A and B are shown apart, each in its own frame.
Chain A
Amino acid sequence: MHTLLFELKVLRPWGSLIIAGLMGIIRISKVVSPKDPATWAGWIFFLEFVYPVLLPLLVFTFLEHEKNWRTWETLITVPYRKAWVLLERYLIVVLAAFAGVMAGVRPQEYPALLAPGLALGSLALLGGLAFGEEAGLGISLSWWGISFVVAIAKPELLHSGIANWGLLILSASPLSTAEIMLRKWCHLGIGLVFLLFALVLAEHKRSWT
């Protein structure tokens, strides 16, 4: 808890965090309670197609800050806690990103909302720690880009099992809602596995140079 407060200060996007927090509050307090997502076609399109990119971009930003501020090397003297530092920062951006839009989504769709973002964000984190933050962002955006292009230009490819398990945007697929949700849960799980690997790697990463 002690370090979480400092991580908030390190990131310090106060405006975004306050807005995200308020959005979360109005949803939890049921001031806003979306019933029929079909009436929000543009919103759903945004959440499915564009929103997942937010997390890898945020991950890229904080990794780049860490590198530019030259703070990682100093953390060599805090064994076992570098992963904790990274996890707290990641959770802050994930929760803020989630809270910012949860008011417009029904609870049963939360996994579908979180899964692609978490998968992409965790991959950006893992790739960023392993190969540099640009590479991490690049790998992550490539996955999203292929998913986007297939969903827009070649949705028939989503008939294939490899495509509909491996790609992130499935709203244009012929799958049933239950099948889509199963794949989203799988993407969520992949995101958590990537995150776990990233945290292990963070403990071993000694320096950015």
Chain B
Amino acid sequence: MKITSVYFCKEVTVIKAEALTKYYGIVQALAGVDLEIGTEVFGLLGPNGAGKTTFIRIIATLLPPTFGKATVFGHDVVHDRLPIRKMLGYLPQEFGAYPKLTGREYLEYIAGLKGVRRPKEQIEALLSQFGLMQVARRRVTSYSGGMLKRLGIAQALLGNPKVLLVDEPTGGLDPEERVKFREFLMGLRGDRVVVLSTHLVEDVAMACDHLAVLYQGRIKFYGTPRELIQAFQGKVYEIEVPETEVKEKLAALGEQVLTTQRRDANRAIRILGQIEGGCPITPSLEDAYLALLRS
């Protein structure tokens, strides 16, 4: 749902992408993305393989674009990488830490490399904030997936970066940790930009001011979560069918089906478009997102 050819976010543009295109061999991962992101928590939503990680990696100066241009605070991601890296906090999708260091040692190590002033205060605060104080003396190799992710977020925040790029940060976190993390992201609003790449709609719903839906390397929607919901207001219907008929019904409805939910002996099926016996509902963000991908 394209509103304009370029997607503007806020008055202060921090990240700007112009016709950003990336090919891996003959595979096109990004197809001319135009996007402007200001000082806010911004969600990059899309299914696996949509090009989210490629976009994040280009902004993080890890990948050069094939065509197009991207800047961070006016610095080009190809020709002017160093100033970008200096203001960057980055949590890669597959975060790894040195397994033989303890959690605290790892943060001290990264803080040392980043040249963080008064690292101890920051490290203590981050360990406490992310619930790692109890395991700070344990080697990273003994950490669970969730602990490792939290350590990754903590290292990304060392040095108080102006640009924070987090790629699928809530994967591997349990529900309670996810909620805490989203709350934490919301608390980061201010003079920095946080780009959250995720395929989880609830992350964006709770934490982000604006979002862009990336699909097959293109931006399919840009706006606020509310705007995405409004775009499908009156277009999502729900019917309830007995469990015994669900299989047949789903097969008949095919691509129209958005979500299903069990209700006692019945199943509530939400679909895109009108259906006989169905009633219009206010879509959730997930419904709207799925409807967008189907449309």
Most buried by B among A70, A79, A81: A79
Residues of B within 8 A of A73 (CB): 62, 90, 92
Kindly specify which of B31-39, B97-105, B267-275, B284-292 makes contact with the partner chain.
Answer: B97-105
Chain B residues with CB under 8 Å of A79's CB are 81-82, 85-86
Pairwise interchain contact A70-B114, C-beta atoms closer than 8 A: no
A71 touches B96 (CB 8 A): yes
- CA–CA, A207 to B62, complex, Å? 7
Kindly identify which residue among A6, A68, A74 contacts B105, using a CB–CB cutoff of 8 Å.
A6
| A206:B61 contact, CB within 8 angstroms | yes
Q: Is the CB of B100 within 8 A of A10?
A: yes
> 8 Å CB contacts to B: which residues of A46-83?
68-71, 73-81
Most buried by B among A75, A77, A80: A77
Main secondary structure of the interface of A (DSSP, over half): helix
Q: Closest A residue to B140 by CB, please name it.
A: A69
Q: Which of B108-166 contact A (CB under 8 A)?
A: 108-110, 112-114, 152, 155-156, 159, 161
Q: Which of B61, B96, B159 touches A76 (beta carbons < 8 Å)? A: B61
Is there an interface contact between A9 and B95, defined as CB atoms closer than 8 Å?
A: no
A10 touching B98 in the complex, CB below 8 Å, given contacts A73-B62, A77-B114: yes
Chain A residues whose CB sits within 8 angstroms of the CB of B85 once the complex forms: 76-79
Is A12 at the interface (CB under 8 A from chain B)?
yes
> Cβ of B63 < 8 Å from any Cβ of A?
yes
A177 proximal to B (CB < 8 A): no
Interface contact A206-B110, CB-CB below 8 Å: no
- A3: chain B residues within 8 A (beta carbon): 109, 112-113
Q: Write the A178-191 contact mask toward B (1 if CB under 8 angstroms, else 0).
A: 00000000000000
- B96 and A6 contact, CB distance less than 8 A: no
Decide: A70 and B113 in contact? CB cutoff 8 A.
no
Residues 150-190 of B at the A interface (beta carbon under 8 Å): 152, 155-156, 159, 161
Instruction: Indicate whether A85 reaches chain B with its CB closer than 8 angstroms.
Output: yes
Q: Within 8 Å of chain B (Cβ to Cβ): is A2? A: yes
Question: Complex: how many Å from CA A81 to CA B85?
Answer: 12
Given contacts A6-B109, A85-B113, contact A76 B97 (CB under 8 A): no
Chain A positions within 8 Å of B65 at CB level: none
B-side contacts of A69, CB under 8 Å: 96-99
Residues of A within 8 Å of B89, CB to CB, are 77
Per a CB cutoff under 8 Å, which of A2, A12, A74, A80 touches B92? A74
Considering the complex, give the chain B residue whose CB is closest to the CB of A13: B100
Mask, A1-45, CB within 8 Å of B = 1, is: 011001001101000000000000000000000000000000000
| B98 surroundings in chain A (CB, below 8 A) | 9-10, 69, 71
Q: Is B207 in the interface zone, CB < 8 Å from A? A: no
Q: Which B residues touch A10, using CB under 8 A?
A: 98, 100-101, 109
> What is the CA–CA distance of A73 and B99 in the complex, to the nearest angstrom?
16
Chain B residues closer than 8 Å to A9, beta-carbon distance: 98, 100-101, 105
Contact of A78 among B63, B97, B110 (CB under 8 A): B110
**A70 vs B148: C-alpha distance when bound (angstroms):** 12
Tell me, yes or no, whether B88 is within 8 Å of chain A by CB.
yes
Measured in the bound complex, the distance between the Cα atoms of B92 and A58 in whole Å is: 27
Taking the closest CB of chain B, its distance from the CB of A1, in whole angstroms, is: 10
Q: What separation, in Å, do the CA atoms of A176 and B57 have in the docked complex? A: 56
B15 within 8 A of A: no
Bound form: Cα–Cα A2–B113 in Å:
9
User: Which of chain B's residues 38-94 have a Cβ closer than 8 Å to chain A?
Assistant: 57, 60-63, 81-82, 85-86, 88-90, 92, 94
* Selected contact of B88 from candidates A2, A6, A12, A76, CB within 8 Å: A76
Question: What are 24 A-B residue pairs whose CB atoms fall within 8 Å in the complex?
Answer: A3-B112, A6-B105, A6-B109, A9-B98, A9-B100, A12-B100, A69-B98, A69-B99, A70-B92, A70-B94, A71-B98, A73-B62, A74-B92, A74-B95, A74-B97, A76-B60, A76-B61, A77-B89, A77-B156, A78-B114, A79-B85, A79-B86, A85-B113, A206-B62
Q: Can you name 8 extra interface pairs (CB under 8 A) apart from A3-B113, A207-B57?
A: A10-B101, A10-B109, A70-B96, A71-B98, A76-B60, A77-B161, A78-B114, A80-B82
Q: Chain B: residues with CB nearer than 8 A to chain A?
A: 57, 60-63, 81-82, 85-86, 88-90, 92, 94-101, 105, 108-110, 112-114, 152, 155-156, 159, 161
Chain A interfacial positions (CB closer than 8 Å to B)? 2-3, 6, 9-10, 12, 68-71, 73-81, 85, 206-207
Q: Which 8 A-B pairs have the closest CB atoms?
A: A70-B96, A78-B113, A6-B109, A79-B85, A69-B96, A206-B62, A12-B100, A73-B92
